[in-house]
């Protein structure tokens, strides 16, 4: 009988904790900032380091932070550079 009580207690306790976690996940949700991933998808992906950053991921982070310009990326084509500039100008207020 003690085992049944213990199992029942664990089920109830697990259910209550699950409900609390579900509630917290809804109320405390923060929208993720996807700007770095978006810019990274627009870069050529060569990871050459010619821009002075450790690959395209580093370049994307610096572009979003405003620490560099897209002109330093030599392999990136002119039309993609313009798309990246437009994207960063349109999404600059997110932070």
- pLDDT in tens for each of the 95 residues of the chain? 899 999 999 999 999 999 999 999 999 999 888 999 999 999 999 988 889 898 999 999 999 998 899 999 999 999 999 999 999 999 886 65
Q: What is the pTM of this model?
A: 0.68
Parse the chain into domains and list their residue ranges. 1-30, 35-90
Residue 95: the pLDDT is 52
- Identify the CATH assignment for 35-90 out of 1.10.15.40, 1.10.8.50, 3.40.50.1780, 3.30.420.40: 1.10.15.40
Rounded CA-CA distance 37/45 in Å is 12
């Amino acid at each position: 009988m003690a085992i049944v009580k213990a199992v029942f207690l664990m089920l109830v306790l697990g259910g209550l904790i699950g409900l609390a976690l579900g509630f917290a996940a809804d109320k405390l949700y923060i929208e993720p900032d996807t700007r770095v991933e978006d810019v990274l998808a627009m870069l050529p992906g060569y990871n050459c380091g010619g821009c002075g950053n450790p690959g395209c991921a580093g370049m994307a982070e610096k572009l979003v932070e405003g620490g560099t310009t897209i002109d330093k990326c030599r392999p990136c084509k002119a039309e993609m550079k313009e798309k990246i500039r437009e994207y960063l100008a349109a999404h600059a207020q997110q932070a």
